[in-house]
């Protein structure tokens, strides 16, 4: 893969920071226009045609400031289409448009396994996570986690010597939680810190589902060690299953509420994990992931979308996510036409594009 020209890399970062452009619309805009430069030129007219208010692109100076802040911190920018962008994450539908990285970016493209679990973890759970991470690292795997307290921190500690990746909700310069500052510094020096958030961004609740999606997207499999039923770790496991990753669970005592999550995953068909051998056995016997790069499934978008189709698609949308194919069948129109209409409606703020080809109001 040839490196992207610098103007296109700059444009992709700028497009990713544009208002109402999320990962789904970013991928579709690239598919429709072939480059972020052309997509940025077309964006104001698309919003106007979709029925939105006058649209203002993010100022170029704002993007220059973000890049300068990254350089100042020693971070590296990786945009979708760069040779350094990890192939496994590019296969996610849709992939994050940009990543900021601090440390050894080559770790992202190695064979990776995620270990996640409870923040308030038992001493035994932390020992299991640390031992699993250590044995996985010695077997050649890079361990991915989210730098949270408890299981995450133990997994990072166990794999510092062999390769570990911390995915953050805020920017790569946002040390959260603050009491993990020491392990953060070690990962930045010896592993890799990753985030799709801008430099300087502080983590908020809405950022953690996106972080969890990157954790699972980077990984060939996700191991859950201690987690309550309603927890971010089970969200990560669900995302992993949706992405076609292997989900592993470490069983625990039914007397400990932190074991309810892994035990429930096992009832739902997760792979029992008591050690490295269980992970290796699963990877040897189960079908490997298809590493075809993700993005829009359409090779050609229509040049123009008529106003009537825009309104017809808008009328069919509701707060309940609806498959794009179902909308196309209801209107007896090609899926590509409906996808183009949904893109314009989302940019105008009249629709939300969701992973998996879904859309809602």
Number of domains in the chain: 3
202 lies in the same domain as 250: yes
151 located within any domain? yes
139 lies in the same domain as 270: yes
pLDDT mean across residues, the chain: 91
108 lies in the same domain as 140: yes
358 located within any domain? no
Confidence at residue 303, expressed as pLDDT on a 0 to 100 scale: 63
130 lies in the same domain as 215: yes
Instruction: State pLDDT tens for residues 171-216.
Output: 999 999 999 999 999 999 999 999 999 999 999 988 999 999 999 9
154 located within any domain? yes
Q: Domain of 270? A: 103-285
Confidence at residue 78, expressed as pLDDT on a 0 to 100 scale: 97
Confidence at residue 194, expressed as pLDDT on a 0 to 100 scale: 98
297 located within any domain? no
Confidence at residue 288, expressed as pLDDT on a 0 to 100 scale: 46
298 located within any domain? no
Instruction: State pLDDT tens for residues 45-68.
Output: 988 888 888 888 999 999 999 999
126 lies in the same domain as 246: yes
90 located within any domain? no
Confidence at residue 54, expressed as pLDDT on a 0 to 100 scale: 81
Instruction: State pLDDT tens for residues 10-47.
Output: 999 999 999 999 999 999 999 999 999 999 999 999 88
299 located within any domain? no
349 dihedral zone (left: phi>0; alpha: psi -120 to 50; beta): left
250 lies in the same domain as 344: no
311 lies in the same domain as 277: no
295 located within any domain? no
Among candidate residues 255, 285, 315, the one where a domain is terminated:
285
CATH of the domain at 133: 3.40.50.450
pTM: 0.85
333 lies in the same domain as 266: no
69 lies in the same domain as 144: no
The answer, yes or no, to whether residue 297 has pLDDT greater than 70, is: no
Among candidate residues 45, 78, 111, the one where a domain is terminated:
78
40 lies in the same domain as 109: no
Share of the chain above pLDDT 70, in %: 95
204 lies in the same domain as 343: no
Among candidate residues 20, 44, 78, the one where a domain is terminated:
78
154 lies in the same domain as 190: yes
């Amino acid at each position: 893969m040839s490196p992207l020209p610098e103007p296109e890399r700059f444009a992709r970062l700028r497009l990713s920071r544009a208002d109402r452009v999320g990962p789904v619309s970013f991928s579709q805009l690239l598919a429709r226009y072939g480059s972020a430069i052309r997509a940025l030129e077309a964006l104001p007219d698309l919003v106007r045609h979709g029925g939105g208010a006058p649209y203002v692109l993010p100022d170029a100076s704002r993007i220059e400031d973000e890049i300068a802040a990254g350089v100042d911190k020693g971070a590296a920018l990786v945009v979708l289409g760069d040779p350094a962008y990890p192939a496994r994450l590019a296969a996610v539908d849709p992939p994050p448009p940009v990543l900021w990285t601090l440390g050894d970016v080559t770790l992202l493209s190695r064979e990776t396994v995620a270990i996640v679990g409870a923040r308030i973890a038992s001493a035994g759970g932390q020992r299991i996570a640390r031992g699993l991470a250590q044995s996985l690292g010695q077997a050649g795997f890079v361990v991915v986690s989210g730098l949270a307290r408890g299981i995450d921190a133990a997994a990072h500690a166990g794999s510092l010597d062999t390769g570990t990746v911390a995915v953050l909700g805020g920017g790569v310069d946002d040390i959260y939680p603050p009491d993990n500052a020491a392990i953060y510094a070690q990962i930045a020096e010896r592993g890799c810190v990753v985030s799709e958030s801008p430099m300087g961004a502080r983590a908020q609740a809405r950022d953690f589902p996106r972080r969890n999606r990157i954790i699972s997207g980077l990984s060939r499999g996700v191991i859950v060690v201690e987690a309550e039923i309603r927890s971010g770790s089970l969200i990560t496991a669900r995302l992993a299953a949706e992405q076609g990753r292997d989900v592993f669970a470490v069983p625990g005592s039914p007397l400990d509420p932190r074991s309810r999550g892994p035990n429930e995953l096992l009832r739902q068909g997760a792979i029992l994990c008591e050690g490295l051998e269980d992970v290796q056995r699963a990877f040897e016997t189960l079908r490997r992931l298809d590493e075809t790069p993700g993005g829009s499934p359409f090779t050609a978008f229509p040049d123009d979308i008529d106003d009537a189709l825009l309104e017809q698609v808008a009328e069919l949308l509701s707060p309940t996510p609806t498959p794009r194919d179902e909308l196309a069948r209801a209107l007896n129109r090609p899926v590509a036409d409906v996808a183009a209409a949904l893109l314009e409606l989302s940019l105008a703020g009249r629709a939300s594009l969701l992973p998996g080809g879904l859309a809602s109001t």
